[in-house]
Every structure is written in structure tokens, then in C-alpha cells.
Amino acid sequence: MNERSFINGVLKKDRTISSRENRNDKYERILEAAIKVFAEQGFYQSTVSQIAKEAGVADGTIYLYFKNKDDILIQFFRHKTRQAFEGFKKAVEEGAHALEKLRNLIRVHLETFQEDRNMAVVYQTETHQIHRSAEAQIKEMSKMYLDLLSEIIKQGQTEGSIRKELHLTLVRGVMVGAIDEVINTWLHSRIPYDLVAMADPLVELLIHGVGASRKPENPEKANRQKGGKR
């Protein structure tokens, strides 16, 4: 290979890499723009033209990367939420025991949604609706999250930090519902506040419940004691 051939080969490779990077950058830009539009307008009310305008590209450019609006939603669950889930999984793996894993999972979950409010809005909204186009992706992500919680609960029951007599499905459902409610309350609150600050109180509530740590005093005994003091 002579010098010219070598240089041409390097330049061709550089152009290929540059083209791939530009493509990835535009894909990400369109996807982020779509998430913002979906969060503000709602999926059904959003249009490809609105997404293109937000991304700063022509309408036709959208179709170079996505088949249609439904495909954008599919890619959101396949790409963006999967990235978030990888963060959840890593946080859980760093926990030494079940309660630490649960605390890590909830904290990172709340942190991720607080850092990207648009993603939080779209995820919370669209997972509660039926989208035939994205149904498979939604079910897949839900199963991955439920499996992660199941592992934590089973470990907690083995370690003794979670009551063994409680049914796994019940405990898991309560946890998912509580996390979901905390995020939804934050999203719809008129007064901004730190979502992540709710992580530790939520874990305490899930593990210890709302009951007092000591047994309640006998009402009749309490009344007799009050009567004797008069």
C-alpha cells in the first residue's frame, strides 16, 4: 500500500465515523425533542411537525430515523428507559444487603426522574395508558423492574428484614404503588420540592409501616389512671 492509498483509507474511515456520530447526535436530538413535546402536549396531541420544530430539523428528517410518531415512543422505551434501568440495576448491585439495595433503588429512581422531568412525565403518563405500538416495550421494562424488586424482597425475607409470611406479589405491589404515587405527587405539585428527599422516608414507611414502635396503651387502663389523678 502506497502513502496515498493509506491516507485515502484513513480519510474514508474518518468520514464514516463522523457520519455515524452525526447520525447518532441527530437521533438523540430528535428523541429528546420528542420527549419534551410529548411531556408538554401529550402523545396523542403531539405532531411530527412539532417534534421537528423542537429538534430544529425538517419534517422529512424525522422519517430518516423513525418510522412514525409511534416508533418514536417505542424508541423512548427501548432506548431512554433502558438507560435509566441500567442505572437502577447498578445501584442495586452496590447494596450490601436487601434494605440498602431497596434504598439505593428508590433513591436512584427518584434522582433519575428529577434530573429529567420530561422523561418522568412521559414514562408516568404513557405506562398508565394502552399503546399497542409500545406495549411490548412497556411490558418488558415493567417486568425488569418487578424482577429487580422481587430479588430484593426475597433477599430481605431471607435476611429477616422483610416479613417472610407476606406474599411476594403483595409486597411488590405495595412498593411499586408507593413509588409511583410519590413521583406522581411530585409531578403534579404546584409547589416545587426535592423529590430525592422523599427516598429515605419512603423506605422507612415501606419497611416499618405507619404503626408505632410500641404497643398502644390499653384504653380502659389509661382512663382509670386519668381518673385517679383527679
**Cα 94 to Cα 82: distance, rounded to the nearest angstrom:** 19
Residue with the bigger pLDDT between 8 and 162: it is 162
**Cα 162 to Cα 119: distance, rounded to the nearest angstrom:** 32
Q: In the predicted model, what is the mean pLDDT of residues 126-136?
A: 80
Q: In the predicted model, what is the mean pLDDT of residues 67-80?
A: 92
Q: Among residues 218, 172, 145, 74, which one has the least CA distance to residue 162?
A: 172
Q: In the predicted model, what is the mean pLDDT of residues 29-33?
A: 96
> In what helix (H) or strand (E) does residue 17 lie, and over which residues does it extend?
helix 3-41
Label residue 224 by pLDDT band (50, 70, 90): low
Label residue 6 by pLDDT band (50, 70, 90): very low
**Contact between residue 49 and residue 18 where contact means Cβ atoms under 8 Å apart:** no
Label residue 14 by pLDDT band (50, 70, 90): very low
Q: What is the pLDDT, as a whole number, of residue 18?
A: 41
pLDDT digits (tens, 9 = 90+) for 89-116: 999 999 999 999 999 999 999 999 999 9
List alpha helices for the chain, DSSP H: 3-41, 48-55, 59-65, 69-75, 81-93, 98-115, 117-126, 135-159, 168-188, 199-208, 219-229
Assess whether pLDDT exceeds 60 at residue 178.
yes
Q: What is the pLDDT, as a whole number, of residue 80?
A: 85
Q: What is the mean pLDDT of the chain?
A: 86
Assess whether pLDDT exceeds 60 at residue 44.
yes
Domains, the chain, ranges and CATH?
1-66 (1.10.10.60), 70-221 (1.10.357.10)
